[in-house]
């Protein structure tokens, strides 16, 4: 793929004529854990926990779990025993309370990715550590004007994030739209990937795989291998797609169907956008409207070239170069039966705030870089390396993560412009907690419409400029690469609003 088309894709853009889509959600071990899911199985949906009277109160246990993946028994880690964990449905203005317990052997914590909530105390605080056997009570208060949309939750304990998400710890948060698009049904489709070893445990991840960002052999939708979803011709569905893979980028298409993007990370679009493909970096979400046409379609994830370490190594290395694999089938979409009545036009969404009209109080440049660690020979000796000393360094502005250090000090209530520079040969999907960002320029070109995201891909040797409105909250939180191996290896910084 040319760099240009890649950049367009990674901007959640669309191209060409035809049809594309994304797919599938489901709770995989729906009835007692004895069933084997996989080809030809109906796409399951995770259990839904919905708020009432402005509050959603729940207990969430992160613990080892035994589930079926395809025909195999897998020993994973899951929230409340299911993969994905329960879907949490709240409304703008609601309070979400989570009594979290850690049944794992490593420390963990909980992050509500994309929610615009306080980072302090028992809010969305990435510095909390919940030891094995311990509990912690979280409370997240959504502002009344919180954007409706598809968000997600996952662990965020530095050093364990990639391992825990890869092992199965993730779930969806839906902030309901007071003025929803009429649809026959909506589905969540959580795409994840993992590699199981011979005994059904998550496989060991080698140092080169961590540096590249691990990609699992098996790609799942709601914990299922190639499930099947069915609809009648003319039915409109809303698919809430989450890329929960630690490192894998997804370039999704749904042959034979028309797809419209109705929302991205940070909420609904003013008008849905027709597209043939949608690209999701790790952490990104897309809300897709599918107006079902008769026939059988496949939701596939095509490979994405996200760069490699070859440029640093003086040669290719084993496990290098994702993006060279074959497309992966994720889901079969079966549309048959009597045609239903036309669901009518999609009502317009809200008009979006445009920070280009708001002068920035400060401008900053952040440099995302990789350097060679100790003991890294040029001759491809990496496969035999052991221990952290053998790792390349992953830095922002030349420094690895230090939770005690405040890297960026911002004034609450102001707009800032951040230029994200990637001086490495691999893409880095950059994510800021609490405050969504508006992409202003990418590759030196202005983005015409207000494009709001919370994970922004910064291509290898490229740069992206965003504006951030540090509204509502004070406190300290983080920004990082959402290739979670990179985050665990140090590509994370702290920001304090005061
Ligand atoms: Cu989805 Cu800081 O994370
Ligand atoms: Cu996040
Ligand atoms: Cu990265």
Q: What is the pLDDT of residues 50-92, one digit of tens each?
A: 999 999 999 999 999 999 998 899 999 999 999 999 999 999 9
Q: Could you tell me if the CB of 480 is within 6 A of ligand 1?
A: yes
492 CA closest ligand 1 atom index: 2
**pLDDT value of position 497:** 98
Residue 343 corresponds to which tokens in the numbers above? 């669901």
Q: Could you tell me if the CB of 158 is within 6 A of ligand 1?
A: no
Output the CA angle 117-180-334, nearest 5 degrees. 110
The ligand with the least distance to the CA atom of 480 is 1
CA of 383 to the centre of ligand 3 (A): 20
CA of 331 to the centre of ligand 2 (A): 27
487 CA closest ligand 1 atom index: 2
Lowest mean pLDDT among 181-195, 303-317, 414-428: 303-317
Mean residue pLDDT of the chain comes to 88
**pLDDT value of position 375:** 41
Q: Which residue has the higher pLDDT, 390 or 127?
A: 127
The ligand with the least distance to the CA atom of 283 is 1
Q: What is the pLDDT of residues 169-225, one digit of tens each?
A: 999 999 999 999 999 999 999 999 999 999 999 999 999 999 999 999 999 999 999
Residue 329 has pLDDT above 90, yes or no: yes
Answer whether 0.85 is exceeded by the pTM.
yes
The ligand with the least distance to the CA atom of 370 is 3
**pLDDT value of position 140:** 98
Kindly report the number of other CB atoms within 10 A of residue 295's CB atom. 13
Q: Could you tell me if the CB of 283 is within 6 A of ligand 1?
A: yes
Residue 128 has pLDDT above 50, yes or no: yes
Share of the chain above pLDDT 70, in %: 86
Q: Where are the beta strands (DSSP E) in 106-170?
A: 111-113, 135-141, 149-154
Q: Could you tell me if the CB of 157 is within 6 A of ligand 1?
A: no
CA of 124 to the centre of ligand 2 (A): 9
User: What is the average per-residue pLDDT within 104-127?
Assistant: 98
Q: Could you tell me if the CB of 214 is within 6 A of ligand 1?
A: no
Q: Which residue has the higher pLDDT, 425 or 38?
A: 425
Q: Could you tell me if the CB of 111 is within 6 A of ligand 1?
A: yes
Closest of 396, 400, 460, 462 to residue 431, by C-alpha: 396
CA of 347 to the centre of ligand 3 (A): 38
Which domains occur in the chain, in start order?
A: 6-175 (2.60.40.420), 185-335 (2.60.40.420), 355-497 (2.60.40.420)
What's the pLDDT band for 372 if we cut at 50, 70, 90? confident
Q: Could you tell me if the CB of 306 is within 6 A of ligand 1?
A: no
**pLDDT value of position 81:** 97
Output the CA angle 458-462-464, nearest 5 degrees. 55
Closest of 170, 171, 121, 123 to residue 143, by C-alpha: 123
CA of 95 to the centre of ligand 2 (A): 19
Q: What is the pLDDT of residues 442-487, one digit of tens each?
A: 999 999 999 999 999 999 999 999 999 999 999 999 999 999 999 9
Q: Could you tell me if the CB of 156 is within 6 A of ligand 1?
A: yes
Which residue's alpha carbon is at the smallest distance from atom 1 of ligand 1?
A: 113
Lowest mean pLDDT among 29-43, 270-284, 317-331: 29-43
Q: Which residue has the higher pLDDT, 11 or 207?
A: 207
CA of 339 to the centre of ligand 2 (A): 41
Say whether the peptide bond before residue 157 is cis (omega within 30 degrees of 0).
no
The ligand with the least distance to the CA atom of 156 is 1
Kindly report the number of other CB atoms within 10 A of residue 246's CB atom. 31
What's the pLDDT band for 14 if we cut at 50, 70, 90? very low
**pLDDT value of position 485:** 98
Rg (CA), the chain: 21
Residue 27 has pLDDT above 60, yes or no: no
**pLDDT value of position 5:** 36
Q: What is the pLDDT of residues 222-246, one digit of tens each?
A: 999 999 999 999 999 999 999 999 9
User: What is the average per-residue pLDDT within 153-168?
Assistant: 98
């Amino acid at each position: 793929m040319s760099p240009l088309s890649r950049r367009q894709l990674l901007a959640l853009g669309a191209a060409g004529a035809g049809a594309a889509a994304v797919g599938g959600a489901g709770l995989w071990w729906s009835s007692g854990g004895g069933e084997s899911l996989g080809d030809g199985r109906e796409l399951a949906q995770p259990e839904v926990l919905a708020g009432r009277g402005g509050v959603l109160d729940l207990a969430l246990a992160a613990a080892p779990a035994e589930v079926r993946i395809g025909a195999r028994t897998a020993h994973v880690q899951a929230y409340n025993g299911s993969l994905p964990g329960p879907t949490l449905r709240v409304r703008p203005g609601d309070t979400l309370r989570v009594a979290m317990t850690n049944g794992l052997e490593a420390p963990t914590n909980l992050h509500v990715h994309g929610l615009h909530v306080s980072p302090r105390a028992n809010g969305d605080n990435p510095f909390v550590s919940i030891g094995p056997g311990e509990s912690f009570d979280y409370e997240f208060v959504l502002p009344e004007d919180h954007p409706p949309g598809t968000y997600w939750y996952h662990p965020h304990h530095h050093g364990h994030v990639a391992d825990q998400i890869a092992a199965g710890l993730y779930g969806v948060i839906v902030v309901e739209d007071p003025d929803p698009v009429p649809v026959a049904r909506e589905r969540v489709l959580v795409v994840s990937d993992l590699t199981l070893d011979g005994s059904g445990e998550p496989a060991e991840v080698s140092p080169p795989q961590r540096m590249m960002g691990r990609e699992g052999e098996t790609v799942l939708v709601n914990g299922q291998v190639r499930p099947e979803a069915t609809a009648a011709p003319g039915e409109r569905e809303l698919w809430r797609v989450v890329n929960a893979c630690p490192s894998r980028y997804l370039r999704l298409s749904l042959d034979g169907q028309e797809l419209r993007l109705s929302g991205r990370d940070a909420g609904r679009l003013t008008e849905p956008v027709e597209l043939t493909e949608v690209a999701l970096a790790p952490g990104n979400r897309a809300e897709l409207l599918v107006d079902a046409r008769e026939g059988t379609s496949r939701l596939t994830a095509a490979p994405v070239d996200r760069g490699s370490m070859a440029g640093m190594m003086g040669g290719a290395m084993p496990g290098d170069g994702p993006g060279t694999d074959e497309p992966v089938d994720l889901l079969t979409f079966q549309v048959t039966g009597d045609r239903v009545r036309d669901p009518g036009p999609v009502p317009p969404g809200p008009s979006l705030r445009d920070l280009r009209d708001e002068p920035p109080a400060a401008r900053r440049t952040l440099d995302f870089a990789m350097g060679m660690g100790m003991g890294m020979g040029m001759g491809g000796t990496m496969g035999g390396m052991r221990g952290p000393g053998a790792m390349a360094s992953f830095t922002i502005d030349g420094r690895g993560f230090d939770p005690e250090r405040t890297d960026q000090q911002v004034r609450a209530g102001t707009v800032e412009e951040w230029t994200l520079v990637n001086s490495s040969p691999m893409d880095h999907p950059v994510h800021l907690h609490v405050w969504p960002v508006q992409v202003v320029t990418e590759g030196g070109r202005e983005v015409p419409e207000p494009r709001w995201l919370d994970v922004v891909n910064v291509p290898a040797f490229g740069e992206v400029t965003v504006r951030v409105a540090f509204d509502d909250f004070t406190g300290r939180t983080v920004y990082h690469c959402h290739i979670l191996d990179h985050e665990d290896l140090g590509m994370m910084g702290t920001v304090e609003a005061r």
